[in-house]
Structure formats: structure tokens, C-alpha cells
Amino acid sequence: MPGALSNLRIVELGEMVSAPYATKLMADLGAEVIKVERPLSGDKARLRGPFPGHSFHPEKSGLFLYLNTNKYGVTLDISRPEGMRLLERLVEQADVFVHNVWPPDMDRVGLNYERLHKVNPRLVMTSISPFGLSGPHRNWRAEELTIWSAGGVCVLNGAGPDHPELPPLKTFGSQAGFQGGVHAAVATMGGLIAQMRDGEGEHVDVSVQESLVSQLELTFEYWPYMGLIATRLGRKPIQPVESIRCKDGWIYVCCIEEHQWRGFVEVMGSPDWAREEIFADRVKRGENWEALKIFLEEYCSQQTVLDLYQKAQARRVPFAPVSTMGDLLNSEHLKARGFFVEISHPVAGTHIYPGAPVKYSATPWEIRLPAPTLGQHNAQIFGERLGVSSAQLRELARAGVI
Amino acid sequence: MAKAPLAGVRVADFTWVWAGPYCTLQLAHLGADVIRIESTSRPCITRVLPPWPDGKPGGLNRSGYFNQYNQGKRSVTLNLRHEAAREVARRLIAQSDVVTNNFAHGVMEKMGFGYEALKRIKPDIIMISLSGYGDTGPYRDYVAYGPAQIPLSGFSALTGYKGWPPMHTGFSYADPNAGVHGAFAILAALYHRAKTGQGQYIDMSQWECAMALLPEGILEYTFNNCEAERIGNSDPHMAPHGIYRCLDRPERIAGHVIDQFIALVCADDNDWRQLAHIMGQAELADDPRFATLQARKQNEDELDAIIGRWTANQHAHELAANLQRAGIAAAVVADNKYLAEEDEHLRLRDYFVYLDHPEVGVRQHAGIPWRMSRSDSRIRSAAPTIGQHTDEVLIELLGYTKEEVDQLRSSGALD
């Protein structure tokens, strides 16, 4: 059975995380994705790692290898007229073009919807940028840390009321990039469904900042509804909802409802202190957290994570281990579900990667190709697909266009 | 303007709390008719959580939390313990393209709404279950709460100040992440159905969707058998790369001083030279402690202290603009008030939505993170009050008469 998106043709001019993740989501469902990188240096994700053996190699960067599965790789310098013409010819045959070229660079090389629409009126063009393609910050520079901050997420995390001197804390990894990517994939699919119905394409402008502001849980509305600012410094109104150290790691103790606390007290063997008036309900436990914490730390320090987790869950108490990467790779549950997948790459070798985020009953998620080496498919795509002769290809390579 | 991409697509939405409603919110943005199946006897928890308008709690229709994530949807109340209510649900499913739920494993089956049963009602139905642990595997019946999904999925082990214990992400990030991945999955399934006529079942685990965002941590382990260290706000390939304290807000909010910070990144030596110049300390650029990336990483605490002293007596908003004028990546570490009132960029992009709601009036809500040049993608209405569309849906869509609806109501089936 072919994948859900198996007849789609996508051209991606992507770097780092957002555009590559949007097209990875589609490529893993069967879409054909031609990834365009700049000649010689390629996608910056090739520099990011992690690298096997901690030794840098542009074909062995974990971030790149993960984000670019199932893609063909070509190189093009679109700041050169011959490069832009080849991009136009690729786009002419495509359903979708996804890019995250920084808006001032789009202006500089003349990359815009009008141009590509002329080449292919059915094209859905998705532009992912830090702040979107309009407004006073359109041309602002951005990195993961600054856009995660501008999106209102970063301010919510930090050491809390005990350490107000510590700054807000970034969440690990490239989360702004991932959220820009997955929201762009949603909007692009909308454009594609409309294209299927109407036979016409369109331009989709995705702002990474807005993708983050759209998911601030209840915190954004605290201002328009109540005139309150949500900060990392607030005390938790109810407890216990904290990570606590065990003998062999950390557990996340999570008693939001009263029956969950009662279940935890049973797991602990119903100690006398748990009957104290100061711990009588979740709000009192929040007010008296400093006292409660001493008892819970003492108890947990005698337990192993897995045992406490399973005992709590047996009573419908939603504890969770503070999983290390090793815990994830060794999880019986994830093994039974087959989450992790093995991918062999001609240069980087064979390794285990995160697999399907979602499972479909009728259509497969599958790895057909590892991430491309830089320019791996130039001859195949430019030669066989676009009919560029091998003499012309040599000339384009010599001139640095591909 | 063309029709909405999902015009004519109907979603029977059994989800609640956050992940599911965030999923169907995306579909509503694209024009789907999303009908939430609710019950006054078991209202969505977000209907009874703050923030409350003007600080006055109460009612099922006034929470800013619910009103944010349910914009553009309709609401029907059904007490599914009644067979007559389950019959209404079956008739709704027969007229739907997508059925969503995030109940515990097995609950839909018990009500007669498992995938096999749904296929008999509507052969090409697309069904998605958004659950914490997924539909299979030894922990499939485990209970998942939003905050606990962060440590479970590996985010906490990787996030934290250098040398400190694991931290949280500050919000239940795995929820909206699962929701938006679920929306993508439904759209891919709709696309497949449009080509082939075939529906399908989608099994989504919040845990797995969250791990899809952690390749740098997971691959450090699978490549090198190492657990990645927690590195705070720093970055192995860039310095300075941090969050620095600026002047506090001039006003107090509810009696509290509100601190403000700037995020600032120098991607390379040129950026650093430029920053040193703006700081009025151009000599730092050639100082052997800071002249190269390697030197700056080695002396990063000292570097951060120097920058922090410089930012401490400046306003974050002005400083970000000044740094951007010089081509340095910087941004205010925005809080909700900053986004709502002081970020002129969001305002000028018309990002926020102001629609009249019958009980809370016009409030500012977060909008849609994309713009489409041709299709009609917008927030079509304020969030529904509970059961606001029960009569409309039963009579106009499902063909019940007014008398039948009244009878259902008096029997308690529409509670």
C-alpha cells in the first residue's frame, strides 16, 4: 500500500529545522521531496550534530540525518540566474514548494510567490519565517533562542519563586523550529486540499512567532481576561506536582485530583504524617509545600523509579519517570509499539532514530531513503528529470551553480 | 476569496481538555464544521478553570482557557449514558467525515463508538484517538496528565540550568504538540480519502509525538551512548547566546514587580564584534578571552556577566530594537502582557482576534499562525457556550423535529 501522500511532489528549500520538518512529515507518508541546498556548505543543520564519536563530519550530523529522511538532495545557488531558473523548473513539476529563506534574502534573490505562480499556477508555496512576511519585524534576525522568547513561551519556564535571580529557561533543542514546521505542514495540507478541489495554488505565510503564541495554554488569556501577567515566578497553587529524586533517578509526582493524592498515600503505606491537617487538601498541600517536600523527598529517596511509577499507575495516579534518553531507548512500552527505527546511511552508518509520531491503520509511515548526502541526486534530478545534459551539469558544477 | 479548504468537512469532536481541542481548532481554522460533543454533567475541565473575566469565577461559558481553544466550533450537549443520546451521536457520525477523541483506552468502544462500529455507520470515516501512551503496548492503560508528559518524554532530563536538576518546560507542551500533529495526520488522511475513497484509524500517542521533537538528545544517546548535558540557555556553536536581565517593568501588576529580560545571540565573530561596538566596549572583540568562538565558550560565564551588566539598566523593548537595527538577533522575552499590548508587530499583522461572545463580550484572543492568499482561513466565531448549537444541529442537520428535541431534553439525554 502506498503512503497517504504518495503522489505528491514537493520541492523544499530548507535549512535547519522548520521547513525540513514540515516536509519530513510529508515525505515519511510517501511524498516525493526534492531538497535544495546551497552548493559546497549545504544546510546549516549539517554543522549541528550530534556526531558519532563527537567528531564533526557534514554527512554525519544527527539533526540533519533525522530531518531529511526520504528526500532527494540537490544543490543550487539561487542567487545566480541559472540557479533560479533550475529552481523554477523543479517547481514547475511540483505540487508544493516549502522554504524558510529569511525574508531579506528572499528579496535579495527575487524569490517570491508572483514569480513561482507564473511558472506553476497550481503550486502551493509555503513560506516559513520567524515573524511572517509582513509587519515591522519581518526583516528581524532570529535564532532559536530569540524566537522561542518572542513567542512568549520562554518566560513561563525557570527556577521559580525560590530563585528569582535565575533567568527564564529555554526548553531543550529546536522547539521553535519544530513548531513552525508542524504548523506549516497543517497549513500546507489545507492549501493542497483546496488545490485538489479548485485546481489552483496559493501562497501560505507561516509565522514561527505566531505558532508559539497560539499554544500558550491558558496563560495568554490571563492578561485580556484578568489583567495578570503569567511568569515563571508564581508558586504552584496545588501540590505535589514536582520531580523528586529516587534511588536510581527522578520521578514526576503528579497529584492534581484528590483521589490521586489518596492513591499516593496508599502507595506510601498510609503514613501518619499524611493525616496532618496541613496536608488535608491540594490547596493546603500547595501552601505547605516546604513541609510536604521533606516527607516526600525522604520517602522517594528509598524507592526505585520504575517501581514507584508502576505502583502509582496501578492506582490510576498519573506519575511518570523523568526519562533519560537511555530510559526511552530501553522502554518496554516503546519497544512493543516499535517507535524507534533503524536507518542505514552510506556515510554515517546504521543508527537508531525516533520513528513515526502517529500510526495510521491503512497507509504506511516508512523510511524508504536515508537523508541525502550533499548533491547526491544532482545527476538524477537535473539530468534525468529536467533533461540537463551531463556536459551542462559539469559546466554548472564548475561555475558553482550546483 | 475562494472557499475554505475544509468547507463541507464535518468533525464529530469527542475530545476535551487541551490536546484534542487544539487539534480540532486547526481544522476549524481551515473551515471544517467542528461540532464538540459535550455534557453539562461532565463539562470540559477547561470550562471551569481560570482565567475568568475580570477575576469573577463562575459559569461554564466564561473561562478564557476554553474560549481560546474552541473558537470557530459548535457545541452540542449529549449525555451519552442515555441510549437516545448515543443515537443522536450515531446520526451525527453518519454525517461526519472525522471523529476525534481523547478518552482513556476502551471508552469509545464501550459506548459503541469503536472504529469498527463507526465504519458500519460511515464506511469511509476517519477516526483519531489522541492518547498519552497510544493504543497498544503494555502501558496503554496508564493515566497521562499534561504536566507529566514533559518528564516522561525526555524533555525534563534535557532541559535545565547547567549543573542543576531536570526542569520542566513551564507549560504542558506535549498537549498542543500532539494536537497539531494530530491535525496534520487527519489532513493527510483526508487527502488520501479524497484520492482513494478510503478512510482510516489514526493511533496517536502524545509521548511519541513529543519524542519526535528531541532528535538532538536521543541521537546523542544512540550515536554515542551519552546522555546530553543540561546547558541552560547556551549553545555549543554560538556565544554569546543567552537571556539577560533588563530593567523591571515600570508598573506593578497586582502588587508585584515584574522582571524583564532580553534574549540575545551572536551567531558568529562578526556579530560579536558588532555587539561589542554597540556596547561601547569595542576592545572586547579582540580581547583574547573573547576573540574566537572557542575562547568565548571557555569564558562564557565572564562574557555573560559583562553583557548582563550592560543590559541591566536598559529597557528590553528599546534594546531589542537597537540590537536589531545593528543586525543582531535579539528579542524581548515576551510575557502575555507584552504580546497582548506591546508587540506592535503582532498587532499590525492582525494576529489577534476580537469576536463578540454572549457572556464575556469582546476579548482579545490568539489567532491563526498562518495567512493563506486564496483560501478562506479565519476564525469564524467566538467559542460556543455549552450546548449553544444543540437545537440547530439536531433539527437542521440531523432531521429531528422540535418536539423530538424537547422530548429528548426532558428525558435528560441532552444534559
Residue type, A206: V
Same domain, B157 and B121: yes
Q: Residue B283: which domain range?
A: 241-334
B342 interaction partners in chain A (CB closer than 8 Å): none
Determine the distance from the C-alpha atom of residue A185 to the mean position of all C-alpha atoms in its chain, rounded to a whole number.
11
Last residue of a domain, which of B310, B334, B358? B334
CA atoms B265, B269, B274, B280: torsion sign: positive
Same domain, B178 and B279: no
CB proximity under 8 Å: A 7-66 to B: 7, 25-26, 29, 47-54, 62-63, 65-66
User: Which pLDDT score, from 0 to 100, does residue B254 have?
Assistant: 84
Question: Does B197 reach chain A within 8 Å, measured CB to CB?
Answer: no
ipTM: 0.98
Region B42-60 average pLDDT:
94
Q: What are the cell numbers at B364?
A: 482579545
Question: Does A283 reach chain B within 8 Å, measured CB to CB?
Answer: no
For residue A240, say if its preceding peptide bond is cis, omega within 30 degrees of 0: yes
Q: For the domain that residue B93 is a member of, what is the CATH number?
A: 3.40.50.10540
- Strand order, beta sheet including A241-246: A241-246, A249-254, A320-321
Q: What is the DSSP letter of A171?
A: P
User: Which pLDDT score, from 0 to 100, does residue B56 have?
Assistant: 94
CA atoms A169, A174, A175, A177: torsion sign: positive
User: Which pLDDT score, from 0 to 100, does residue A186 have?
Assistant: 98
Residue type, B304: D
- Taking the model in full, what pTM does it have? 0.98
pLDDT exceeding 90 applies to what percent of chain A?
A: 97
pLDDT in tens, B98-124: 999 998 888 999 999 999 999 999 999
pLDDT in tens, B23-39: 999 999 999 999 999 99
Mutate to test the interface with B, among A46, A360, A363, A367 (most CBs of B within 10 A): A360
For domain A9-215+337-398, give its CATH number from 3.40.50.10540, 3.40.50.2000, 3.40.50.1980, 3.40.50.1110.
3.40.50.10540
Residue type, B396: E
Give the integer Cα–Cα distance in Å for B134 and A307. Answer: 21
Q: For the domain that residue B286 is a member of, what is the CATH number?
A: 3.30.1540.10
> First vs last Cα of chain B: how many Å apart?
39
pLDDT in tens, A215-236: 999 999 999 999 999 999 888 8
Q: How far is residue A1 from each of residues A30, A228, A320, measured CA to CA in Å?
A: 10, 53, 37
CA–CA–CA angle A305, A309, A311 (5° rounding): 120
Q: What are the cell numbers at A144?
A: 532559536
Contact indicator for B337, A223 with CB cutoff of 8 Å = yes
Q: How far is residue A120 from each of residues A117, A199, B277, B378, measured CA to CA in Å?
A: 5, 11, 47, 26
> With 90 as the cut, is the pLDDT of residue A1 above it?
no
Q: How far is A117 from chain B (nearest CA, A)?
A: 12
Q: Is B406 a catalytic residue?
A: no
> With 90 as the cut, is the pLDDT of residue A369 above it?
yes
Any domain includes B127: yes
Domain A241-327 classification at class level: alpha beta
Contacting residues for B45 by C-beta, under 8 A, at least 6 apart: B16, B17
Residue type, B110: K
Last residue of a domain, which of B283, B310, B334? B334
> Could you say which of B13, B97, B175, B343 is catalytic?
B175
Are B372 and A191 within 8 A, CB to CB?
A: yes
Are A48 and B194 within 8 A, CB to CB?
A: no
Are A320 and B149 within 8 A, CB to CB?
A: yes
Same domain, B130 and B200: yes
Same domain, B267 and B367: no
pLDDT in tens, A330-360: 999 999 999 999 999 999 999 999 999 999 9
> What residue ranges do the domains of chain A occupy?
9-215+337-398, 241-327
Are A353 and B218 within 8 A, CB to CB?
A: yes
Same domain, B199 and B271: no
Average pLDDT, chain A: 97
Number of domains in chain B: 2
